[in-house]
Amino acid sequence: MNNPFNPNQHMNSYKQQHPRNYQQPNMGQNSIEQQVLSAINPVINHGMREAQHLGYPHALREAVAISYLMGQGQDFQLAWQMVESWWRPQTPTQPGTFY
């Protein structure tokens, strides 16, 4: 059975579909790629959990919004809290929510 949350399955599928474009990542170097991948791991993990409960479109929207805020200098925790607040029910004195 295919597990949509198995990153190895997706990487293998990508390698099969795009053999000329795939480059094996060099996991031993402390490079910009590794810095970026390390920084976004919490966002990916959050998105994977959200997708199980709320679906892929919502999970991707949240993950991209969190990543954008992190790119603007916010840490993951603050970015996550800010994005989550956009989907929480608003009190009558606050403007409507984004869905």
Residue pLDDT, tens place only, 66-86:
999 999 999 999 999 999 999
* Any domain includes 50: yes
pTM, to two decimals: 0.59
State the total domains in the chain: 1
* Any domain includes 4: no
pLDDT, tens digit (0-9, with 9 covering 90-100), for 13-48: 545 555 555 555 555 557 888 988 899 999 999 999
* Any domain includes 22: no
* Any domain includes 65: yes
Helix axes 76-87, 32-54, angle to 10 degrees: 30
* Any domain includes 2: no
- Count CB atoms within 10 A of the CB of residue 51: 18
* Any domain includes 64: yes
Q: Which residues of 59-88 are buried (b: 16+ CB within 10 A; e: fewer)?
A: bebbbebbbebbeeebebeebbeebeeeee
Single-letter residue type at 84: E
Over its C-alpha atoms, the chain yields an Rg (Å, rounded) of 17
* Any domain includes 72: yes
User: Which whole number is the average pLDDT over 49-60?
Assistant: 94
User: Residue 70 belongs to what domain range?
Assistant: 30-90
